[in-house]
Structure 1
Amino acid sequence: MEKFARKELGWVTYINPFRIVVPEHEEPLEVDLKEINSNTYNHGKLCQIVSSVALDELSGYKLLVCYDGALVIPKIGKYRNKEEAVNLFNRIISCLILSGIFCEAIDQRDIVWGNLLDRVQIWPVDLGKSASSIFHGKLRMRIASNLDRIILSSPRSIKVGEFLSALSDGESILGEISNLTPSFFARGITEITYKNWSLALSSLWITVEQLTDHLWENQFLKNSAKQPDNEISGRLKAMRQDNRTWSSSVKQELLYQSGVIDGYIFERLYPARQARNRLVHDGKDVDEDTVKGLFSALVILLEMSVTRSSIGISRLQLPSGDRMETTMDASDEYIDWKEV
């Protein structure tokens, strides 16, 4: 127990879907069938720290990255609070999504505690309360079933350099759109993959309104060509602060009328806003086409909001939510069901 005399505990979450992070000089892990069946694979490899990233939010400490896609931050300062850890992890995940690497948003169920061991591993960890955290924890402890272990035979992988580059690119994008909330963005993208259209729209519309405000400020109000020749006292202040008069719908209309956004974007924002209002006020479900249209408009709004010509999310292929479902033909007549 001497190794654990000083517990340097951190919050741990995992990149999901499962993805290993491989050092540049190594080939990705591929566990053979014999090791999987006998449960003798090198589980310590999964716990190995493969990279660290300095983050301004951590005040001199670093984000640690493990081979099995674990992301770890120290339980210090405000990050003793798990809710704050959720926000930081979703920012990291959003950076990866913006760079074209799909990851699912996380919540408190996905976060577990872990201990820094000998400066080379995060071990042990607890199992947590989500399917992802339990799955990873069992693989690390070598108590997963054969069916779960089979993923180690040919896991999805990313090199450390590619991971760090994606994180840096995503961070620079978020740095240009300071009012964007990563947790809503990542959650909206995640819910699309599971075809939870109402939940996807609820989160993505928040992101759209934030991007609308960003464009309103930077490409309309600050554009002298779209303003009167003579400044009108109090006008710009009201257009920035009076959100009842200058609502998102009004801003989007004026952004369209003034040519900041084009017809393709506006034709997808307008029905999405109507669907969002019906959802909020009447509890009406949202259809697939509306959400997918909103997503395509969102990607363009993101590209318009940054200085670079393109961003990785424009090439992102979202996984289908029915990837694990089995198609079965149902009977046209439920005779037995009526007799139960």
Structure 2
Amino acid sequence: MNETYRHKRVTESDTTLNAILDLIVEGTWDWNGETGHVTRSPGWYRMLGHEIGVFQENVFTWENIIHPDDYKRVMAHFEQYISGQSPQYLIEYRCKKSDGSYLWIVDRAKILAYKTDGTVARMIGAHHNIHDKKLAEDEVKKLNKLLQQGNMSLENLTKIKAKKLQEKNQELETKIKEVDLLSNIDPLTSIANRRSFEKELSKELLRSRRYNHPLSLAIFDIDLFKNVNDTYGHQIGDVILQKLCKLISDNIRELDFFARWGGEEFVLIFPELAIKKALIATDKLRKIISQFEIAPNLYITCSFGVTECTDNDSIEDLFQRIDNSLYQAKSNGRNRVESR
């Protein structure tokens, strides 16, 4: 590594570095594997059209802006590099901009330090805008394909307008998003459904192991909900489910994931929470629910089962533990939180 600067004081180094980062058009990032903190340069935000500093400084911000079609490929490459299976980290993919469109970037990075257990302690990288280059390459590929198929003359091909092609692609992408959204949302409560939850849990388990972060899972249901339906009718029962979901959604963190498992049963994913904090979070929800007046003089309670994920857990292991914990909560009198 070339030593371009040799400052005598740390403050001088910081001043130089911050000035450089503010001038760089592309985006740089610095991940601290010990704390999970990610520092991003002003150019990173400007490149994607966001206000500087608007995102949380963690790995979730990065993963959440990766195009869904590129996500698995990027994560596989990242894991191969940090595990030592690949000699370098260098990959092209799309990142979501502030207007909802996607920008092609090339991501380069290097590990600077390791922890005593061999996992990453610090890694730095840069995102470089290659969008125009990728669009031009894609356009050439399309034209070559049409020429090879003999479907159009060269004269006609040159008249194709890139803008119209882009509009059609955007229209198709919008339709795909609409269909995907409908297939992942519970129609009654407007929260995530079981299918969506299973996908998210698999994703969070991989992310937890990738970054060595804690992850907890909870399941809960409405106590004696059959009696409520029998007394007030299923229409009121549906209203209760809707109001309960709104109440829970308003009282969890942005990165938590809430879904309807089935009937009056719901599940929660708590990224970055170990069991102790997950129990505090679920007991807070339990109290909020029990004190909420669903309708005049109508209150409900819920019982919770909670567990923390370990490296060796399968999804079946996790559900066996939270199901057993929920059963224990019911057996111990309901309106309580139990864990295993």
Which category describes the TM-score, using the shorter chain as reference length? under 0.3
- RCO comparison, higher one (Cα < 8 Å, 6+): 1
Which structure has greater strand proportion?
A: 2
TM-score, length-scaled by structure 2: 0.27
Q: Which has the larger radius of gyration?
A: 2
